[in-house]
Amino acid sequence: MSARHAEIAGGGIAGLSLATMLARAGWSVRVHERSPAIREAGAGIYMRNNSLEILDEYGVLDRLAALGTQIHQTQMRGAHGELRQTFHLTGPARTFVFPRQALVDVLADAARDAGVEITLDSEAVGTDPGGVLILANGTRLRADLIVAADGFRSRLRDAVIPGARQWELKTIVNRHFIAGRDLTPDEMSIQYWSGQRRVGVAPCGSHTYVYTNFPNTLPRAGTLPLDLADWGAAFPGLQRELAVIAAAPTTQYNYIMVDCPRWTAGRLAIIGDAAHGLPPTLGQGAGLSIMNARALTLALDRRGSIEDALHYWEQQVRFISDATQKWSCRYDSFTRDLPEMLRFLRPAAFWCFRHFPALNNRMRIADRGLALTALHP
């Protein structure tokens, strides 16, 4: 019997992960990436235990670990640098920070090693859910499985799923990538809070990854390079750090959300940000993408028909992504919208979430991964 064949639109974290997993399961797989290279913005990315376990299963965690940093604890600090809380990152909270480009490079190498064909400059413009991917040059490619892994503005999703939508939230985030570890000699991440803003600092291999976020109602906060007078007034204890951060390469984004009423249509599966784009507050966008890709390969292995497998997959795993989207938005709102007179409650709220499993397991449901579903490897 000839191998089943998949055509995947999108060579990001979701598309490359799924491609490797399908190829290792005996599929023939082609990935279409519209850009001329597999490329990510220069920044770091936090990966939690749910995706680390899967990267380990596929033999790529060792390669990545050498390029990133395992974070053993995280601290919450105030605007003057004063320590409020320390949490240990073990068990389901195990966390690494990787350079984004290293992550996609390692995923692309793993895909090619598994026999995946990665086609660059290849843009998908449509699909027939009966099993056809349509490219910008007019080519129609037949496959047993079509995958929309084309990011949060997914063109394939919007063409096929009625009611699907994506929008920007009111929070803006800058990602700064700093050569060297002067700000992060220890294997520890720190979140500094001030009013409606946060500054997150983490070691990331030979670099330091920093994010600065703020609501779009503070126009001076969005100036690039950072307005040191404005940020220095918000974080008086971080003058040295802010000067280093302002000099580093920076990219700016809006937080986003995706509402995708169904993840499947016929032989089409929607995966990654195209299915569950969410604010990055819990560090789970890529984690969910990798986890859902693993679950999809298991569903395809266990169910006879493609349509049945896709339906089963969504039914089994979707609740984790839905809950994570909700909690990521709540976390964002907690930074941005909490009235000034209630902000003193933040450390207490964090303490409660970290120390009461019933709360933590709800907010960080994704950390426990596929063990919560019938699609556990």
Which residues of the shown chain bind ligand FAD in the complex (CB under 6 A)?
9-15, 32-35, 45-47, 123-124, 149-151, 155, 173, 175, 253, 272-274, 280, 283-287, 289
CB of 105 to ligand FAD, least distance (A): 13
Q: Long-range pairs for 78-81 at CB < 8 Å and ≥24 separation? A: 78/192, 78/193, 78/194, 78/237, 79/192, 79/193, 79/194, 79/195, 79/234, 79/235, 79/236, 79/237, 79/238, 80/236, 80/237, 81/192, 81/237, 81/238
Residue 303 or 329: the one with the smaller Cβ distance to ligand FAD is 329
Residue 35 or 239: the one with the smaller Cβ distance to ligand FAD is 35
Residue 36 or 339: the one with the smaller Cβ distance to ligand FAD is 36
CB of 152 to ligand FAD, least distance (A): 6
Q: What torsion, rounded to 10 degrees, do the Cα atoms 129, 132, 134, 138 define?
A: -140
Residue 92 or 285: the one with the smaller Cβ distance to ligand FAD is 285
Residue 12 or 131: the one with the smaller Cβ distance to ligand FAD is 12
CA 323 vs CA 177, 261, 308, 367, 370: distances in Å:
30, 14, 24, 12, 14
Which among 303, 266, 263, 40 has a CA at the least distance from the CA of 149? 263
CA distance 325 to 285: 9
Residue 32 or 354: the one with the smaller Cβ distance to ligand FAD is 32
CA distance 210 to 240: 14
CB of 80 to ligand FAD, least distance (A): 26
CB of 169 to ligand FAD, least distance (A): 11
CA distance 238 to 8: 45
CB of 26 to ligand FAD, least distance (A): 23
CB of 322 to ligand FAD, least distance (A): 15
CB of 101 to ligand FAD, least distance (A): 12
Is beta strand 145-148 parallel, antiparallel or unpaired with respect to 5-9? Answer: parallel
CB of 173 to ligand FAD, least distance (A): 4
CB 200 within 8 A of CB 225: no
Residue 288 or 306: the one with the smaller Cβ distance to ligand FAD is 288
Residue 14 or 265: the one with the smaller Cβ distance to ligand FAD is 14
Residue type, 300: L
Residue 24 or 34: the one with the smaller Cβ distance to ligand FAD is 34
Residue with tokens 């009013």: 195
CB of 125 to ligand FAD, least distance (A): 6
Other beta carbons within 10 angstroms of residue 356's beta carbon come to: 11
CB 183 within 8 A of CB 208: yes
Is beta strand 140-142 parallel, antiparallel or unpaired with respect to 197-204? Answer: unpaired
The sheet with strand 188-194 has its strands ordered as: 83-88, 73-77, 188-194, 197-204, 207-215, 165-179, 250-259
